[in-house]
Amino acid sequence: MMIKNGILVNWTISSQPNKMPFEEIYKTYWQKVFRVCMGYANDYDLAKDMAQEAFIIVWQQLPKFRNEADIGTWIYRIATNNCLRQVERQKRFPKAALPLNLEEDKQVNVEPQLQLLYRFISELSETERIIISLELENAKQSAIAQIVGLSEANTRVKIHRIKEKLTQKFKEHGNA
């Protein structure tokens, strides 16, 4: 900052205003991105891998990020696109709806209810999994629309339907 004749003439701000450093992004978004990946993959180790991959992309792309977009939306786009990209690795990709498999047993303290939630989500289609994971992650519906590329109205309808499906699945399970 420079003051000449009592007037502020040069207000220096950092060259990249509002830009979050990577470490901070990583700290803030790790759990969120991991949970979204978990919703997509229903496999603890795979989800962790996918989340790490997503952050590698974030790290690589960060210099290109422009502040006109919301950083959260931007990160979720990268993370969910990376989920969709998993189709290329089908071989190591687990089949949906492996019922409470052994893999999950080694996780610490995963409540049965939570396991059920993951299982029911894994029975949804790929894009439904993404939409509901973002919704459960408390992303705004307008943000979800921007991440997925749908209109807000359409997104709202989809979220509502998916929630109905999940509730239905829980009810059926409870009655079984």
Partner 1 sequence: METPDIDFKELWASQNTEQPNLADLLQRVDRYKKSRRRHTVLANLSLSITAAFILFVWYYYQPQLVTTKVGIVFIIAAIALYIIAINKSRSLFRQADESNNNQQYLNNLLEIKAKQQFIETTVLNSYFALLSFGIALYMYEYASHMTMVGAAVTYGITGIWILLNWFYLRPLQIRKQQARLNGLIDKLKSMQDQLNQE
Chain residues binding partner 1 by CB under 8 A are 22-23, 26-27, 30-31, 34-35, 38-39, 44, 47-48, 52, 55-57, 59-61, 64-65, 69, 74, 77-78, 80-82, 84-85, 87-88, 90, 110-111, 113-114, 117, 125-128, 130, 136-138, 146-150, 154, 163, 166-167, 170-171, 173-175
39 vs 122, beta carbon nearer partner 1: 39
CB of 92 to partner 1, least distance (A): 15
CB of 133 to partner 1, least distance (A): 8
List Cα–Cα distances, 38 to 12, 107, 124, in angstroms: 43, 13, 13
CB of 17 to partner 1, least distance (A): 19
10 vs 23, beta carbon nearer partner 1: 23
CB of 1 to partner 1, least distance (A): 33
Distance from C-alpha of 116 to C-alpha of 97, rounded to nearest angstrom:
10
Q: What is the DSSP letter of 95?
A: P
Write the Ramachandran bin of 143: left for phi over 0, alpha for psi from -120 to 50, otherwise beta.
alpha
Distance from C-alpha of 114 to C-alpha of 42, rounded to nearest angstrom:
11
For residue 8, list its beta bridge partners. 3
Distance from C-alpha of 74 to C-alpha of 135, rounded to nearest angstrom:
16
SS3 category, 43: coil
82 vs 122, beta carbon nearer partner 1: 82
13 vs 103, beta carbon nearer partner 1: 103
